[in-house]
A and B are shown apart, each in its own frame.
Chain A
Amino acid sequence: MSDGPHLLELEGVAKHFGGLYALSGLDVRVDEGEIVSVIGPNGAGKSTMFNVVTGLYPPDDGNVRFHGDSIVGLAPNRITKLGIARTFQTVHLFPNMTVLENAMVGQHCRARSGVFGAVVRPPGTRREEERIRTKAKESLEFFGSRLAGYRQEQPAFSLSFANRRRLEMARALATDPVLVMLDEPTAGMNPRETIELRDHIVRMRDVLGLTVLVIEHDMRVVKGVSDRVIALDYGRKIAEGTYEEVASDPQVIEAYLGTKAVG
């Protein structure tokens, strides 16, 4: 692969909850400009991997490097500031803030003004607030007309399910990330919305120049977007490669369909 450090590198990462090993000895590398899909049956450790990378859980063993520097032990907000943004498997918005405010929260880590700026409102703060607003609107407009216009002033809870997912992605994009981690972005979407979102994921790489790590169950999406696919089962990596390679891997087929009956 490329020279120098990888963008994101998991080295022997382990995480257990009591006696349950959610992840064990996991090695994953992601390079800049890639779209990497993570697949695997339920409970394979995909979301746990996301939570370890974004700092919600500390790993029990191993290392996570971003741009070559370890990010283990950093608070989630520090990791976001370094350039890793994420969405959640079950949508987690700020339901009573407006759509625009949700996206503006994403820009929080790229702004500086504090109490003094808030109270006195010097020109610098006004400009910053204006910039936050513009950037937030831009990230909402990434989804075309879906989150545009009057919708931006409505509370987030009033959105349709698919739009909540879009807003969560827009909020992630508003953090000006380098790497976006999407946890089952098409879950709960209908086929048309799924196809639309597939194009959006590709555009994140091609238009915004982002690296995307995506957990996905819908194999059409995985096939359509992935530069590389990683398959997990029982917290281990069982296969890695192009979609075709992984899809034909006997271990992957076994993980999804169960062990062949003996005899």
Chain B
Amino acid sequence: MRGLPTASIVRAGLVGGVSALFVSLVGLYTRFADLELVGEQITLGRVLIPAPALVAAYVVTRPRFVGGERRPIVLGGGLAVGTFTGAVTGAVFALAVWFADWFGVDRIRQVFVQVTEPLIDFLTFDKGVPAGLAILVVLCLAGGAIGGFERTAPASIRTPAAVGVLTVLALGLLQRIVPIILIQLGIEADWLYTPSTRGLTWLGAAGIFVVAAAANVLWTRGGARAGQRVRTTIQEAPAAKLGLLVVTLSLLSVLPLLLGTVISEVLGQVMVFVLLGIGLNIVVGYAGLLDLGYVAFFAFGAYTTGLLTGALLNTTTGAAEPVLSADLNFYVAVWIVALMAAGLGLLIGAPILRLRGDYLAIVTLGLGEIVSIITASRWAQPLIGGPQGMRGVTNAEILGLNFQKDPQAFYYLALAFVLLALFVSWRLAASRVGRAWTAMREDEQVADAMGISTIKYKLLAFAMGGAIGALGGSLFAVNIGSLSPSSFGILISITALAVVVLGGLGSLPGVVVGALVLIGLPGLLREFEEYRLLIYGGALVAIMVLRPQGLIPNVRRSRELLEEEVEQDAWAKGVTGQAEAVVGVVPGGRLAGESENLE
């Protein structure tokens, strides 16, 4: 190969090496050294060893744009570049391990607590420093080559291969969940998962790989078109639409029976965040107002539900009545909570109507903090219990279902709430109100000039978003039964926003998928609990780079993003072609950059 991009290779390789060190230092390798995915040899820890090299190689072999022209790298070059990148990563990695071994693990450990003998043993495959390091470097080389292959091989090979491998890894990770489901369904699972270690068997892994890859091939061969046909049929025939709805609903209603209590509990948590996501999506996705303090509504909903249904304050001596409380039936109280939260939305919305973009985000961030500080304050203790919180929130018992003790029952309550919120949100989006929000999001000043009261619709967005967010809080309170300020931190705001952004701003299916990925997966994979935030961060960065419009984008939103990109490109080049045309024709025409002023 003539002219390898040496500088890029070295840079990416170094970044890969540093990432590998980072992964070692935070303890991911030791934590997952024994999590067996396939057989006894392939553990999650070992899969993670070549991962940094793979990602680095995948990035460095991306198509280059030369003068606006896309220049993909050919397969041979991709493999070479990838392998070299992997070599650099492996060298850095091996050097660091050698250094740690030479310098003394105990001395390093005083700073980096995760650097231990087992870590060194793991990274050298129990073969000692010189011999083990060779294996380490070879693995990184392989990782780099795979990264280059996945970028430059023909799509007909690389996509099925990637889908197959990823499916095997995913099913391997879900080793606690999938066998349970299979047993519930009455299917013998021993050939698939090893009963003793729980990892996939080699036979099972091979089977899964073949099935997944074949499914992918079939899908690209014509499944996509068939899917499109099905979609058109559903859109055109009301009967088909109704049928799909019935099937979906009946599937949703038997789900907890199939999945058992553990997964149902996770699904319940997912539903709470689906509600939060639906509400926040109205504010951020529909109306375009970036709200970083959404936890305010969540906390308000939870505590108000407690107060209205006769919960008690925790005190050092036992329990006390709040200074203000009622003893309403939950199904009455929840409507009052939603109404009051809408009022709170107006209150929060009113002072910040004139703020836009970043400023709005900062102020809402502050408002959210104020609410979470109030929940923990002594000042509010007589009402909501301060640091000790509240207990005895109603379990909303109805038809003999106890929503606190029985996760499967709670699933149904949550499902009802979610379906209601989905319906309201969907109807709003497809109405005069939704149109006004969209217009406002696209161009606030022009929307105002076209007769849309931006003040009214901003407030309405905050009120509707607030009401749905408070329903989420209400649901959470019923599920948990006791409230403590620690549940209402800024992390809730961030997670809710991450759910909305990951799924795709303005997209309701996106919210559901976003919550399943961000809440459901960590809930199922308890092993990852400590690394949850690390994984959130990584997932969001990956989404922003690979799919900025979200997993299931709203058509219009993704167009907006694309347009911004085009505008930025044009800006970088100077002036857009269109603006040139305008300048050419209009006397005193102006450049695109100035067009924001309505002159």
The reply to whether B452 and A77 contact each other, CB–CB distance below 8 Å, is: yes
Pairwise interchain contact A101-B598, C-beta atoms closer than 8 A: no
Asked whether, in the complex, the Cβ of B448 is within 8 Å of the Cβ of A92, the reply is: no
Query: Taking the complex as formed, is B163 at the interface, i.e. its CB lies under 8 A from any CB of chain A?
Result: no
Bound CA–CA A80/B589 (angstroms): 26
Q: Report the bound CA distance from A189 to B581 in whole Å.
A: 10
Residues on A with C-beta less than 8 A from B238 are none
Residue B241 at the A interface, CB < 8 A? no
Query: In the complex, what residues of A have CB within 8 A of residue B430's CB?
Result: 118
Query: Which of these, A94, A119, A132, contacts B427 with CB under 8 Å?
Result: A119
Contact status A96-B563, CB under 8 Å: yes
Do residues B427 and A121 form an inter-chain contact, with CB atoms below 8 A? yes
For A87, the closest partner residue in chain B by CB is B449
Question: Do A77 and B431 touch across chains, with their CB atoms under 8 A apart?
Answer: no
The interface stretch among B108-116, B125-133, B192-200, B437-445 is B437-445
- Count residues on chain A whose CB falls below 8 Å from chain B CBs: 54
- What is the bound-complex CA distance between A76 and B448, given in angstroms? 6
Which of chain A's residues have a CB closer than 8 A to the CB of B433? Answer: 113-115, 118
What's the least CB distance linking B376 to chain A, in Å?
34
CB of A135 closer than 8 Å to a CB of B? no
Chain A residues near B434 (CB-CB < 8 A): 118
Is A134 positioned at the interface, with any CB of B under 8 Å from its CB? Answer: no
A97 touches B439 (CB 8 A): yes
Q: Is B107 an interface residue (CB 8 A)?
A: no
> Contacts A111-B432, A113-B432, A115-B433: A92 and B598 contacting too (C-beta < 8 A)?
yes
Residues of chain B lying within 8 A (CB to CB) of residue A89: 599
Bin the interface of chain B by size: 35 or more
Q: Are B595 and A76 in contact (CB under 8 A)?
A: no
* A187 CA to B588 CA, complexed, in Å: 10
Task: Tell me if B447 is interfacial: C-beta within 8 Å of chain A.
Answer: yes
**Given A76-B449, A92-B446, A115-B428, is A104 in contact with B435 using a C-beta cutoff of 8 Å?**
yes
| CA gap between A60 and B442 in the complex, in Å | 30
Quick one: closest A residue to B555, CB to CB? Answer: A96
Partner of B443, one of A94, A175, A187: A94
Is A188 touching B582 in the complex (CB atoms < 8 A)? yes
Tell which of A43, A97, A172 touches B442, judged by Cβ atoms closer than 8 Å. A97
Q: Is A151 an interface residue (CB 8 A)?
A: no
Whether, in the assembled complex, B229 has its beta carbon less than 8 Å from a beta carbon of chain A, the answer is no
* Chain A 72-97 per-residue mask, 1 if CB under 8 angstroms from chain B, else 0: 00011110110001101110111111
Cβ–Cβ contact A96 & B598, under 8 A: no
Query: Within the assembled complex, what's the spacing in Å between the Cα atoms of A92 and B559?
Result: 17
Report yes or no: A184 in contact with B449, Cβ–Cβ below 8 A.
Answer: no
- Scoring B residues 407 to 441 as 1 if CB is less than 8 Å from chain A, else 0, what string do you get? 00000000000000001100110111111101100
Interface centre among B434, B556, B578 (most CB of A within 10 A): B556
Nearest Cβ on chain A to B342's Cβ, whole angstroms: 10
**Closest chain A residue, CB of each to CB of B554:** A96
Pairwise interchain contact B556-A97, C-beta atoms closer than 8 A: yes
Q: For residue B7, give the distance in angstroms from its CB to the closest CB of chain A.
A: 39
B545 within 8 Å of A by Cβ?
no
Q: Which of A48-56, A142-150, A221-229, A236-244 contacts B (4 or more CB under 8 A)?
A: A48-56
A175 to B275, CA, bound (A): 36
Complex-state Cα separation, A177 to B599, whole angstroms: 21
- Report the separation of the CA atoms of residues A85 and B599 in the bound assembly, to the nearest whole angstrom: 16
Is A68's beta carbon under 8 Å from chain B?
no
With A92-B443, A187-B585, A188-B585 already in contact, the answer to whether A75 and B451 are too (CB < 8 A) is no
* Shortest distance from the beta carbon of A192 to any chain B beta carbon, whole Å: 14
A155 located at the interface, meaning its Cβ lies under 8 Å from any Cβ of chain B in the complex:
yes
Asked whether A90 lies within 8 Å of B595 as measured between CB atoms, the reply is yes
**A157 at interface, CB cutoff 8 A:** yes
Residues of A contacting B598 with CB < 8 Å?
51, 56, 88, 90, 92
Interface residues of A in 17-56 (CB under 8 A from B): 42-43, 47-48, 51, 54-56
Residues of A within 8 A of B228 (CB): none
CB-contact partner of A88 in B446, B563, B578, under 8 A? B446
> Would you give the 0/1 interface string for B139-161, flagging 1 where the beta carbon is closer than 8 Å to chain A?
00000000000000000000000
Whether, in the assembled complex, A171 has its beta carbon less than 8 Å from a beta carbon of chain B, the answer is: yes
Closest chain A CB from B497 CB (angstroms): 22
The distance from the CB of A121 to the nearest CB of chain B, in whole angstroms, is 7
* Nearest-Cβ distance from residue B462 to partner chain A, whole angstroms: 13
Cα(A106)–Cα(B452), bound, Å: 9
Most buried by B among A47, A92, A113, A189: A92
Verify if A247 is at the interface (C-beta below 8 Å from B): no
A48–B519 CA distance with the chains assembled, in angstroms = 52
Q: Mark B569-591, 1 if CB is under 8 A from A, else 0.
A: 00000000010011001111110
Q: Which residues of A contact B423 (CB under 8 A)?
A: 119
* Interface check B450, CB cutoff 8 A: yes
How many Å lie between the Cα of A47 and that of B563 in the bound state? Answer: 27
Distance of A172 Cα from B450 Cα, bound (Å): 7
Complex alpha-carbon distance, A85 and B451, angstroms: 9
Closest CB of chain A to B345's CB: distance in Å? Answer: 12
| Contact call B595/A80, Cβ cutoff below 8 A | no
Asked whether A77 and B582 contact (CB < 8 A) given A105-B435, A118-B431, the answer is no
Chain A residues within 8 Å of B585, by CB: 187-189
Residue of A nearest to B583 (CB): A188
Do the beta carbons of A105 and B452 come within 8 Å of each other?
Answer: yes
| B451 proximity list for chain A (CB < 8 A) | 77, 80-81, 106, 108-109, 175
Question: Which residues on A sit within 8 Å (CB–CB) of B406?
Answer: none
Assess the A105–B439 pair: CB atoms within 8 A. Answer: yes
Q: How far is the CB of A152 from chain B (nearest CB, A)?
A: 15
Q: Specify which chain A residues have a CB less than 8 angstroms from the CB of B44 in the assembled complex.
A: none
B442–A161 touching, CB < 8 Å: no
Q: Is B428's CB under 8 angstroms from A119's CB? A: yes
Name the residue of chain A whose CB is nearest to the CB of B445.
A56
Q: State how many angstroms separate the Cβ of B354 from the closest Cβ of chain A.
A: 12
- B460 lies within 8 A of chain A by Cβ: yes
B560 within 8 A of A: yes
Cβ–Cβ contact A108 & B450, under 8 A: yes
A75 touches B464 (CB 8 A): no
A sample of 18 cross-chain residue pairs with beta-carbon separation below 8 angstroms, ordered by A number, consists of A42-B587, A51-B598, A77-B452, A77-B453, A77-B454, A78-B453, A80-B449, A85-B450, A94-B443, A101-B438, A105-B436, A108-B436, A108-B451, A161-B578, A187-B589, A188-B581, A188-B586, A189-B585
Residues of B within 8 A of A (CB): 423-424, 427-428, 430-436, 438-439, 442-443, 445-455, 460, 464, 556, 559-560, 563, 578, 581-582, 585-590, 595, 598-599
Q: A90-B595, A119-B424, A188-B585 are in contact. List 18 more A-B contacts (CB 8 A).
A: A42-B587, A56-B598, A75-B453, A77-B453, A77-B454, A88-B446, A90-B598, A92-B598, A94-B447, A97-B438, A101-B438, A105-B436, A105-B452, A108-B450, A113-B433, A114-B460, A157-B559, A189-B585
Which A residues are within 8 Å of any B CB, using their own CB?
A: 42-43, 47-48, 51, 54-56, 75-78, 80-81, 85-86, 88-90, 92-97, 101, 104-106, 108-109, 111, 113-115, 117-119, 121, 125, 128-129, 132, 155, 157, 161, 171-172, 175, 184, 187-189, 217
Closest 3 CB pairs of A and B: A109-B451, A118-B431, A42-B588
